[in-house]
Chains A and B, each alone.
Chain A
């Protein structure tokens, strides 16, 4: 590029290549974005991934169907329950297994709690990305309560291995259910407070409104799902539109972006969708707590799981978007192929187009708003 300086001399400038990551705190893990900057403006952004690649798909080809579940946990380690749930549903659908009523209710309760925990983490970390520190501590205080509950129920804090093929591993007692109900009341209050602390804040609004706009067409082109798609104003939620489990029994809304603070599909909309989803999750948990009844928690599954020959593509709605499992079975005790469609992987591919023409600080806000977990991107 050529400029003219004060004394009317021509000066030439070049693009500067900056590597953001893989150890950059704002990239949420080991994502490296090769940025070609023109002073403060990003003229090209190339995402490089694979730093956390463990080839879980190859591992699962050498494991029995039950042994894959701990590996699915380690993809999106912030929403491990949702990962297990999707896989279990895929295998159950292949086998034609009936899941007992209580197990279905428990799955819904746990899955929605996991969604709250994951969105709380997004809320805290996004605030940190944009320079606010204390919301992170508030969010973690509440998230800690969920994790403690999960530890009592499943035995682990982060990587649960709780939802098994045919049901769930461990039962929840009445005392724990009462605690969940109490937590919901508290969480509803707190989330309103947190939203007014961050979401309504003028500085936060200035940083996120009109930044990183994903319009409807772009969302379709890149196959965006979850909060990114809903933030662009598309009312699409698998829980409602392609019901799985017992989600058809519950009454809840699907929050979509409104473009209230700027353009439809900007970072603020994506933030807003996630915050409103927390309230919807609380609504679902309350209904599930009313409907849950005593009963068995494990369906009839043979000791060695051998689904019939065939293939299936099972989609579920995870906190970060749609998770799909493409399971190919050859009738043996191990999966022939297990392909994971990760929403974060799709969303990372948007970064190149989103980053073009942004300021570097806005690019950080954009990466934060699409809420990626690198464990799921690289698998």
Chain B
């Protein structure tokens, strides 16, 4: 199915540069040039042999050096589906890549592009109303990026305050190690989120034990 789309795109849209992506499992997406995305979508929608009437979903995937935007298209009359993939290079961590909006092609793209903008920080040019959709308007950062860190405060409210999470239980193993004469015998299911002073105290204790042993 996907190879048929590749042939069609290379024939119809000169700037598409479509090629099939190799995958070990699952569906093989069709990679196209970012600049040609709107022409590609118009061609796929209006062609009589493929007629992809509907845009199912736009799904962004964040990688280290790029953000991929996937357009899942479906044809009801021809019973076909295809994944069109666009790879947008990302220069730095906070960079917001840009791509042309396909709202003119399918109205479904309106909400889908807003979601991709909200979650992954991809700017869709010429979108009629590009606002955040799921997060509040004044939220910082793009949650689905791999390097996302949640903000400390939101509207003067502390995000994840210590008394709301089970800090005592997180610290239990570290404290038990502090109290014990043989801290190495104690293990636990929980790692991380330990309060800094307890963690530091344990580190000092382990260092002193090590030095005592070497002496």
Binding site for B on A (CB under 8 A): 49-50, 53, 55, 57-58, 93-96, 220-224, 229, 234, 236, 241-242, 307-313, 315, 322, 324, 326-329, 336-337, 339, 341, 345-346, 348-349, 353, 378-379
Contacts and interface: CB of A to CB of B under 8 A. Distances in A.
B144 A346 contact: no
Contacts of B55: 223
A57 B119 contact: yes
A324 B72 contact: yes
Contacts of A336: 61
B24 A308 contact: yes
A55 B54 CA distance: 25
A96 B26 CA distance: 9
A50 B132 CA distance: 10
A349 B128 CA distance: 14
Contact of A328 (B61, B81, B106, B133): B61
B83 interface: yes
B23 A57 contact: no
Contacts of B23: 309-311
Contacts of B110: 349
Interface in B64-120: 70, 72, 74, 76, 79, 81, 83, 106-108, 110-111, 115, 119
Contacts, number: 112
A47 to B, nearest CB: 9
A50 B26 contact: no
Contacts of A234: 76
B25 A236 contact: no
B186 interface: no
Contacts of A96: 25
A93 B134 contact: no
* Residue of A234, A310, A311, A328 ringed by the most chain B CB atoms within 10 A: A311
Interface residues of chain A: helix, strand, loop or mixed (majority): mixed
B43 interface: no
Contacts of B72: 313, 324, 326, 341
A93 B24 CA distance: 12
A346 B81 contact: no
Contact of A310 (B26, B133, B144): B26
A346 B107 CA distance: 10
Contact of A322 (B25, B56, B111): B56
B183 interface: no
B59 interface: yes
Contacts of A221: 106-108
* Residue of B27, B59, B107 ringed by the most chain A CB atoms within 10 A: B59
Contact of A57 (B24, B57, B132, B144): B144
Contacts of A236: 76
A53 B135 contact: yes
B105 to A, nearest CB: 9
A339 B57 contact: yes
Given A50-B136, A220-B54, A324-B72, A313 B83 contact: yes
B78 to A, nearest CB: 11
A351 B132 CA distance: 18
Contact of B25 (A94, A223, A229): A94
A100 B70 CA distance: 33
Given A57-B119, A311-B70, A324-B72, 8 more contacts: A55-B134, A220-B53, A223-B55, A223-B56, A311-B23, A313-B81, A341-B72, A349-B108
